[in-house]
Amino acid sequence: MQRKGRLYTPSVPRIQNVQFIKKPMKQAKIVVAAILAWMVPALCLATDFSAIFKKNTDSVVTIKSGNNIGTGFYITPNLIVTNLHVIRNAPDISFATSYKDGFAKVDAVAAVDKAHDLALLYAKNPGKPVTLARSADLVPGMELVSIGSPQGFEKTFAGGNFSQMRQNGLMQISIPVSPGSSGSPVFDAKGQVVGVVVAQRKGAQNLNFAIPSEFVLALMQKAEGIPEQEYMSTGAFHQANKDDRQIEGAGAVLKDYSNIDTGRDGCRNFSSTFFESPGAGPIKKCVCNDAVIYTNIICQCPACRK
């Protein structure tokens, strides 16, 4: 634009005007940097659950015991842990790391924990053991995952949360559970086993339970003190277990209890609660003078017997 023959040049902003424009931009950069500083660690801390599956999938096996299908996992190169009720009623027990490789026979039963429904199986075929961690360190809301064979679908990966540690000694979890899930390892966000799937509350949704890893560790330590030649063959285990069931009143699985008088002196805190055990039908939590036993037979309590 010209004015009276002279070239008109717009005035250049003063230095302070430039500073005024740059100052809020600088503040905005600081705010963005602060947000990124908060977000990046959070993103880095996000759990890579696919890595947990990849690391542990070869440690998990499908167990076939008679008509039962369950899950187990290696805790040493030759010891597989599962639920006792998975193997309890069959003379032959086999396992498969993957269906395409076929099933191999379990060579022996190394040790059992009847009170906590756990069994250690000895397999000559070596496997990759998992890493155990303390369930006592869990806090409600923590994310958990499991790998198992619900309904026989091997290597099924499922997630949920730790809900609460119950007074009966079981972990309450929201991981979906179905027949075949029994014996599945429960992993924390670090990929360490903190529990073993055992039961679901009958008639409830996602009200499921796992045995704390501390009992698995105790059973493993017990097995370490037993020479391999003293392990019980699966046939001998079945026969001994069968005799035990007859003595304790097998054949009345759905009966709550018998010959119990809760009014007797010395009898306290007796109770019997039904759970739905994946792959094995109903099991019961029997409480007898503060001792807790999980079983699929009639609840027995000598202190309360008539």
The yes-or-no answer on residue 101 being catalytic is no
- DSSP bridge partners of 69: 64
Residue 64 lies in a domain: no
**What residue numbers bound the domain in which 42 lies?**
11-46
Choosing from 85, 178, 184, 277, the catalytic residue is 85
DSSP string covering 89-104? T-S-EEEESSGGG--E
Domain final residue, candidates 214, 231, 251: 214
pLDDT tens string 255-290: 345 567 777 777 776 766 655 554 444 566 677 776
Q: Which of 246, 249, 269 is nearest to 259 (CA)?
A: 249
DSSP helix/strand/coil, 250: coil
Mean pLDDT of the residues in the chain: 79
Residue 197's domain is classified under what CATH number?
2.40.10.10
Active-site choice (117, 135, 213, 277): 117
What confidence tens digit (pLDDT) does each residue in 99-129 have? 999 999 999 999 999 889 999 999 998 999 9
Domain count along the chain: 2
Please answer whether residues 132 and 217 qualify as being in contact, where contact means their C-beta atoms are separated by less than 8 angstroms: yes
Is the model's pLDDT at 231 over the cut of 90?
yes
Active site residue 85: yes
Task: Note whether residue 4 is domain-resident.
Answer: no
Q: Which of 162, 185, 214 is the last residue of a domain?
A: 214
Residue 246 falls inside a structural domain: no
Considering the domain boundaries, does residue 277 fall inside one? no
Residue 19 DSSP label: H
pLDDT for the residue 157: 97
Q: Which of 182, 184, 272, 277 is catalytic?
A: 182
Question: Looking at residue 303, what is its pLDDT?
Answer: 77
The Cα 224–Cα 204 span in angstroms is 39
Q: Are 174 and 94 in contact (CB under 8 A)?
A: no
Does some domain include residue 145?
A: yes
Q: What is the C-alpha separation between 64 and 150, in angstroms, rounded? A: 13
Domain assignment of residue 171, yes or no: yes
Residue 76 in domain: no
